[in-house]
Amino acid sequence: MNALGIGELAKRAGVGIDTVRYYERSGLLAPHARLPSGYRRYRELEVAQLRFIRRAQALGFTLTEIKALLKLSAQRDVTRVKRSAQAKLADIDRRISELQRVREGLAELVAKCPGHGRASDCPILLALGTEEAA
C-alpha cells in the first residue's frame, strides 16, 4: 500500500484534517514520514491508531488516558489495559450516580413550580438563589 497523505488518512478514519493535526500536537499520533517538502505521510498503522483514538474517546477516555492506552497497547500489556478500563468504568458509574442525584433534585423543583406567578415565589429560582444550591 502506498503512503497516505493527511487528507486521505482523515477521510479513511472519518475525521477532519484539523483533528489529525490536533492529535499530532497532543502526541497521540505521528506521521510515518515526512517528504522533503514537509508533507506528512501515513500508513495503515496510523489509520488504525486514529480509529483507536476515536473509539476510546467515544467510550469516555480522555486524551491523556488514550495516550497511556496506546502505550499499553504497543506493549501488549492487557492486564494494565483492563485495569485502565475498569477505572474508567468506575469513574463513569460515579458520574452517573451524581447525575441521577442532580436529576432527582431538578425534577423535584420542576414538579413544585407552577410555571406562572411571581418570580419571588418560584421554587426553582428560590433554590438556585440560596447558598445551599452551590
Q: Kindly report the pTM of this predicted structure.
A: 0.76
Q: What is the pLDDT of residues 10-39, one digit of tens each?
A: 999 999 999 999 999 999 999 999 999 989
133, 105 Cβ separation under 8 angstroms: no
124, 110 Cβ separation under 8 angstroms: yes
Hey, how many other C-beta atoms are within 10 angstroms of the C-beta on 71? 11
Cell of 23: 492529535
28, 66 Cβ separation under 8 angstroms: yes
Instruction: Identify the bridge partners of residue 34 per DSSP, sorted by sequence position.
Output: 40
Nearest to 49 by CA among 67, 34, 62: 67
Query: What is the residue type of 99?
Result: L
Q: With cut-offs at 50, 70 and 90, classify the pLDDT of residue 130.
A: confident
Q: What is the C-alpha separation between 4 and 21, in angstroms, rounded?
A: 15
